[in-house]
Amino acid sequence: MKSLEDRSFISDLVRIAVPIALQNLVSSAVNMLDTVMVGRLGEAPLAAVGLGNQVFFLLVLFVFGITSGSGVFTAQYWGAKDVPGIRRTVGLSLSLAVGCAALFSVAGLAFPAGVIGLYSRDPDVIRLGADYLRVAALGYLPTAASFSLGLSMRSVERVRLPMVATIISLGLNAFLNWVLIFGMFGLPAMGVVGAAWATVISRVVELGILLVGSYARDYPTAGKLSELVSWDRLWVSRFMTITLPVIANEVTWSLGITTYNAIFARAGTPHIAAYNVSNTVSQLAMVLFLGTANAAAVMIGKKIGEKKKDTAELWARRFAFMAPMVGLVVGLSLIPLRFVLPLLFKLDAATLAQVSSMLVVLGLALPFKVFNLHVIVGICRAGGDTKFGFWYDLGGIWGIGVPLAALGAFVFGLPAWGIFLLTMTEEVVKSGFGLWRLLSRKWIRSVA
């Protein structure tokens, strides 16, 4: 029996994690290509697009909070083979995500300069960032819908269609970036505005692929309108009890990350330019682990739905041990990347030196970052233990990371890499609390 469970663990991990990791790899590679393209325009455009994307980043994390919370239900309903429950969950998740995106769109369209001004005082950055945001906000609604649908499909082990949709969308985005930013095929060079239009068009295409593909194949998530809105007050109350802590978790964490960006931006345009580059590399380094964390959420949640809690606990411990070990290897491999930075980015020598040091810090902190990701996204959420995840991140980023970063930037005047080192302190400290929660078994709860 144990041998069968072992084979099931490995086969499920590969089948679910690899497409998600590939999807994230393509996404991060294209994001890095975007950063390189915009970086060829100089520090101010790079900083402007980076700050403009902070609004998108906040939206994605709101949507991720909604969908990740609903994924607790979806994965456990999938284990119990409850298709009506899955479709009810998808409908409410999609409604909340699109409603949230509408609010972000209004802010980006009506007050773009004011939004960018929250982060930077550089007039060139504010002007360019507002031009970018005014267009990018048009893509928030299709982005929220496609993100919500894609994550819902992953929760029922339909991972190939979201992967294909993302690859096509991001490939189109990269091509349109090249055409519109630099003015190819006789078109005018649009700079940062071209980058924004490329993103909007590619997100609309992604949503179309997901809708057509899922309904054509009759996925468990592809319900009729009556199935998607078949909510009652008791069920919505139970849904929100589990989901609201996840949304609050993502909101407080995302506000912390955007505060990091504000701290770096207020410290100076070279600081935020260096931070944007290091963040792009970080996203690329995390692609595998986003795949394994999402796989953990689906696999563990499904076992809880099947009433196999001992197996769920065993698999959780495996993820908590294996992922950081791989994270150590990946982290150490990042350090030599600093030698190729001058070939990729048109930044001055001082900024490149800061990025080089930040990659060393990132490489050493990556195992802790990977462990915390799996505890929150993969294990606690799969088990319905969403309140712990909220306090776990809240204490880390607002109790440790943000205060230390602010002290480093505004009191001690540290260089960008020193501030970055202080932001990574939270990952090391809170990993101890994550290990305690894992061993306590208090994270295992049935919600289906």
Other beta carbons less than 10 A from residue 132's beta carbon: 30
346-405 pLDDT tens trace = 667 787 888 888 888 999 999 999 999 999 888 888 887 888 888 888 899 999 999 999
Predicted TM-score (pTM) of this structure: 0.70
Task: Round the average pLDDT of the chain to a whole number and report it.
Answer: 83
What is the C-alpha to C-alpha distance for residues 335 and 281, in angstroms, rounded to an integer? 11
pLDDT confidence of 170, banded at 50, 70, 90? confident
Q: Residue range 15-42: average pLDDT?
A: 65
Statement: residue 314 has pLDDT above 80: yes
Among 31-40, 155-164, 212-221, 398-407, the range scoring the smallest mean pLDDT is 31-40
Among 298-302, 365-369, 398-402, 444-448, the range scoring the smallest mean pLDDT is 444-448
Could you tell me which residue, 405 or 18, shows the higher pLDDT? Answer: 405
What is the C-alpha to C-alpha distance for residues 149 and 146, in angstroms, rounded to an integer? 5
What residue has token string 């305690």? 436
What is the C-alpha to C-alpha distance for residues 277 and 32, in angstroms, rounded to an integer? 8
What is the C-alpha to C-alpha distance for residues 117 and 71, in angstroms, rounded to an integer? 35
Residue 72 CA neighbour count, 13 Å, CB half: 32
Could you tell me which residue, 404 or 67, shows the higher pLDDT? Answer: 404
77 — phi, psi (to 5°)? -60, -35
* Residue ranges per structural domain of the chain: 2-440
CA 304 to chain CA mean position, Å: 25
76-92 pLDDT tens trace = 888 888 888 889 999 99
pLDDT score of 1: 46
pLDDT confidence of 448, banded at 50, 70, 90? low
Side chain identity at residue 200, one-letter code: V
What is the C-alpha to C-alpha distance for residues 165 and 329, in angstroms, rounded to an integer? 30
* Of the ranges 31-40, 416-425, 439-448, the best mean pLDDT one: 416-425
